[in-house]
Structure 1
Amino acid sequence: MANHKSALKRIRRNEAVRLRNKYQHKTVRNLIKKLRGTEDKKAAEELLPGVISKIDKLAKKNIIHKNKAGNLKSSLTKRVESLA
């Protein structure tokens, strides 16, 4: 167990940050799932900018890797464009 006051604070802070990152990541995963499940092109086109914005925010905060963010945005855009 940690002996220093700063180490104890860091443990508490790390847990809070971990939970916040987990929440944000799960929220984006749910949005992606919702977008992929959408069959209506108009609805998907309305959802896409918001989802891309959230993915960019995750990448900016290093919650997900920037290349993964790019791959997700690319695949989602292709999916929306392929809808009839």
Structure 2
Amino acid sequence: MRTSDAVTPSLTTRDVVISLTVYAVVYALFAGFGIFYIYKLLREGPTLAAEAIPNATASRPLAFADIAVSATGAQTGHGDGHG
């Protein structure tokens, strides 16, 4: 089989350019949103665990292991060591 035999006769340069343009626009949108989202997270900065859990200290990191703090700040568990 020769290369000239493997070419699709119905594929035009216009179709290739349109397809490439659509892919480039979609990827640019995804990349732009990703960069915006990362920048937003960096601008807000990290949240401190000491603020989320009262009386938490770095010297006893497992003291509050049974208290789960969700991403919204809601606490689950009893916090009395009995889960």
TM-score, normalized by the shorter chain, greater than 0.5: no
Q: Relative to total residues, which structure has the larger helix share, 1 or 2?
A: 1
> In terms of Rg, which structure is larger?
2
Which of 1 and 2 has higher RCO (CA within 8 Å, sep 6+)?
A: 1
TM tier relative to shorter chain: 0.3 to 0.5
Q: Relative to total residues, which structure has the larger strand share, 1 or 2?
A: 2
Normalised TM-score (structure 1): 0.36
